[in-house]
Structure 1
Amino acid sequence: MVDAAKKILVLYAHPSQERSEINKPLFRATQQQEHVTAVDLYAEYPTFRINIDKEQQRLRDHDVIVFMFPLYWYSTPAILKEWQDLVLEYNFAYGANGNALEGKTFLCAISAGGSETAYQANGYNHFTLRELLHPLEQTASLTGMTYLAPFALFCARSAFDENRVHSHIEDWLRILSALSNNTLDIALGKSLEKLNENLNILIRD
């Protein structure tokens, strides 16, 4: 018996899409994938009036939850924080009766302007990207989700000129397909600094 494909929810947040050379094409490619629901939060909620019931139902209906965003001041863009504050309610996402997210998989697809060497203990930003994402990792833990390492692109400002965008998108589509088909090594994905490393090992044929 073949396992049913896992359904993936991608929540995209970019407050300045007209200047996006990475996240916008990444999101557009994501929208075309089977078994993926891709939501542009800024387009759907331009006044930040988030429909909590709608968003909670989306979470219930999907197996994998993805936050896709550019790293802004070491955190998520504002609407994604607002989404978390409103949607992940007590007795829905956590608390005595809050088990709606248990067993789901969570990860972030992120672009960062700095180099990877800047995101080290002895680098300009003093912390690794994974360390800076600890609040989201703890959110996953509190809500019973499996947290995977981020899928990340560093030096995002130069990626287009350096012809790195296409390969980045292709790698992302491979990950989406593996997540849907249950061919991604979850244990390895949990342990990495970023999912981009060793895709041929991370994804089982």
Structure 2
Amino acid sequence: MPTTTNTESAAHIYVIAAHPRWRDSRVNLQLLKAARDVPGIDVNDLYNSYPDYAIDVKTEQTRLARAEMLVLLHPVQWYSMPSLQKLWLDDVFSYGWAYGKGGNKLEGKDVWLVATTGGPEDSYHPQRYNRYFFDAFLPPYEQTAALCGMRFLPPLIFHGARSASDAAVAEHVAVFKDRLQTYPNWPELDDLGGCASCVVPETDRPVGQEEA
């Protein structure tokens, strides 16, 4: 059964945490614990909830539908999210529910990416081994949100998780916890535009057609 922590019937934040090896986590594990310490937040440790990778789609859609903000908490692995978190998105953000004809269940909600990288921030540079600024890896997250009519909030990224000082980690965790506690009263949200509108024509998804 999916793990639920500190939930209420009208939980307004749903944290999806994914780390394949929590025992090796230096930062994400502390972020997970911080989220669980905030009353009223629905927290799901995906690798504990679904070790067999069999996502309970209906349960997840119910939990997500009652949230105002979805938090994607994970380490960056191969410039993306861990495999189980990607599977969660594939299954839960289904056509006709999250997007496409009749798929309006996520419209108006917020998405907040909270991620860590092993390499330092300056490694994400055209002259360094990651070759691109980190922002170049965000469009898949942004467009996923836009297709579902969700607002993509400014991400909270912690670079250099392997080499950062304990003080820097503690400060980052404190910022994360404060943001959860004060949402939606974040000053910068007033300057963000509304949710994007990306309508998928029905001709692009004919009824009864097999997936590509």
| TM-score normalised to structure 2 length | 0.81
Please state if 1:103 is matched with 2:108: yes
Matched residue type, 1:28:
K
> Matched residues in 2 for 1:26 and 1:46: separation?
21
Please state if 1:46 is matched with 2:51: yes
Cα deviation code 1:38-67 (max 9, x no counterpart): 110000000001000001111101000010
Q: How many residues align structurally?
A: 184
Please state if 1:68 is matched with 2:68: no
Aligned residue for 1:54, secondary structure, equals helix
Find the partner of 1:121 among 119, 126, 130: 126
> Matched residues in 1 for 2:21 and 2:192: separation?
30
Q: 1:189: how far off?
A: 6.5
* Equivalent in the alignment of 2:201: none
CA contact (8 A) 1:149 1:189 kept: no
Find the partner of 2:136 among 116, 131, 134: 131
Distance change (3 Å), C-alpha of 1:178 and 1:6 = farther
> Matched residues in 2 for 1:49 and 1:37: separation?
20
Q: 1:188: how far off?
A: 4.7
Aligned residue for 1:101, secondary structure, equals coil
* Equivalent in the alignment of 2:186: 183
Q: 1:122: how far off?
A: 3.5
> Matched residues in 1 for 2:127 and 2:147: separation?
30
Distance change (3 Å), C-alpha of 1:124 and 1:167 = same
Q: 1:116: how far off?
A: 1.0
Find the partner of 1:37 among 36, 42, 47: 42
* Equivalent in the alignment of 1:193: none
Structure showing greater radius of gyration is: 2
Aligned residue for 2:26, secondary structure, equals coil
Q: 1:187: how far off?
A: 4.8
Q: 1:178: how far off?
A: 2.4
CA contact (8 A) 1:65 1:107 kept: yes
Q: 4+ residue runs of structure 1 moved beyond 6 angstroms?
A: none
Please state if 1:86 is matched with 2:91: yes
Aligned residue for 2:174, secondary structure, equals helix
CA RMSD between the two structures: 1.8
Q: 1:114: how far off?
A: 1.0
Aligned-pair identity in percent equals 35
* Equivalent in the alignment of 1:56: 61
CA contact (8 A) 1:6 1:64 kept: no
> Matched residues in 2 for 1:117 and 1:71: separation?
15
Unaligned runs of at least 5 residues, structure 1: 191-205
Aligned residue for 1:157, secondary structure, equals coil
CA contact (8 A) 1:14 1:70 kept: yes
Cα deviation code 1:150-169 (max 9, x no counterpart): 1011110012x442111011
Cα deviation code 1:82-137 (max 9, x no counterpart): 10111110010001100000000001110101111112333321222232021111
Distance change (3 Å), C-alpha of 1:127 and 1:149 = farther
* Equivalent in the alignment of 1:202: none
Matched residue type, 2:179:
I
